[in-house]
Amino acid sequence: MSTLCLTLDEIYELTRSTMLANGCDEANAAALADIIMRAERDGSHSHGLFRVPGYVKSLRSGKVDGKAKPTVVKKTRALIHVDGGGCFAPLAQAVGLPVLAEAAAEIGVAALSLTNIHHFAALWPETEFLADHGLVGIACTAYMPMVAPAGSTEKLFGTNPISFAWPRPGKPPVCYDMATASMALGDVQIAAREGKTVPLGTGLDAEGKETTDPAKIAAGVLLPFGGYKGSAIALMVELLAAGLTGENFSFEAAENDNHDGGPPRGGEIVIALSPALIAGEGWNAHAEAFMERLTSLEGVRVPGARRHANRMDTGSRTINKSLIETIHGLS
């Protein structure tokens, strides 16, 4: 595979200028460029530049409003709602998360519901923001149907990612983000592009048969991680991100989508909890004693630690050359 090296500033600027050239205003373009640069910075390639062509498709088809101005409303002291007005999720999050953090820090627990957004990114930026403010964060969003509930060969659930972050003052938080599918669709697509196989149990082909061929899975269905248990968590994500917000379930997102290849319209729920108010004084020392016990075990690593380690490398990032050429062609 032929590659090119780009600095983080170049990654940011390439994304920003591509979004501006395709109808985004400065606020939307900058919010998206920031999320993509941070994904590449942390080594989350499946949420980085790889997503730019999909974002552009949905601007060009008119599905996403690149000039939308999200609005924030406090429904109660604990319930914050952002209507994205049809924007990509990052700008709506940038508007809602500070209000959520302030509410949770004041009263202990608060929830942010986001509707009328198009989410195609990782979810750790949302929960990590909360952990950086001393709060526990939980976020989830539903997506297009791609995953067969356990027992079925028909897709109904989205890849339905869920993210959790725990604050560790003075240290990087515990922060992970995982698809409830056996593998994130982006990773399946990247494996297909690179001609690699994926583990058995990742998904089924169009005939409902198990396969290790990622291209066949992309044309068939993914399976939930962990059988019935993962399936139950994917169901929880549908109910929290769609039932609770009033936005599209994954199957509704597909029915209402124009299938341009970009992110469908959907919702997201983000919950923030204050350990300082809930557990009280000493919460951090107590949790850190547990973390010490955990990390003293041979072979254990803290979820998110690899991303945070990648982040310390401020040098340039190696990117697939044909992807960069494709993105240049979109301006």
Residue nearest to ligand PYC (CB): 143
Query: Which residues ranging from 132 to 151 are in contact with ligand PYC (CB under 6 A)?
Result: 141, 143
CB 139 within 8 A of CB 176: no
Any catalytic annotation for residue 47?
A: yes
- Hey, which residues does 125 pair with through a beta bridge? none
Examine residue 119 and tell whether it contacts ligand PYC (CB under 6 A).
yes
Any catalytic annotation for residue 308?
A: no
* Rounded CA separation 250/263 (Å): 11
* Rounded CA separation 290/288 (Å): 5
- Between 22 and 141, CB nearer to ligand PYC: 141
Examine residue 161 and tell whether it contacts ligand PYC (CB under 6 A).
yes
Residue with tokens 């108010």: 277
Examine residue 166 and tell whether it contacts ligand PYC (CB under 6 A).
no
- Between 143 and 157, CB nearer to ligand PYC: 143
Token digits for 168? 């560790």
Examine residue 245 and tell whether it contacts ligand PYC (CB under 6 A).
no
Give the chain's length: 331
Interface residue with ligand PYC among 12, 50, 55, 120 (CB under 6 A) is: 120
Q: How far is the CB of 223 from ligand PYC (least distance, A)?
A: 15
SS (H, E, C) 176-209: EEECCECCCHHHHHHHHHCCCCCCCCCEECCCCC
Stretch that binds ligand PYC, among 34-42, 184-192, 214-222, 224-232 (CB under 6 A): 184-192
Examine residue 203 and tell whether it contacts ligand PYC (CB under 6 A).
no
Examine residue 70 and tell whether it contacts ligand PYC (CB under 6 A).
no
CB 144 within 8 A of CB 112: no
CB 180 within 8 A of CB 224: yes
Residues that bind ligand PYC (CB under 6 A): 119-121, 141, 143, 159, 161, 184-186
Catalytic residues: 46-47, 187
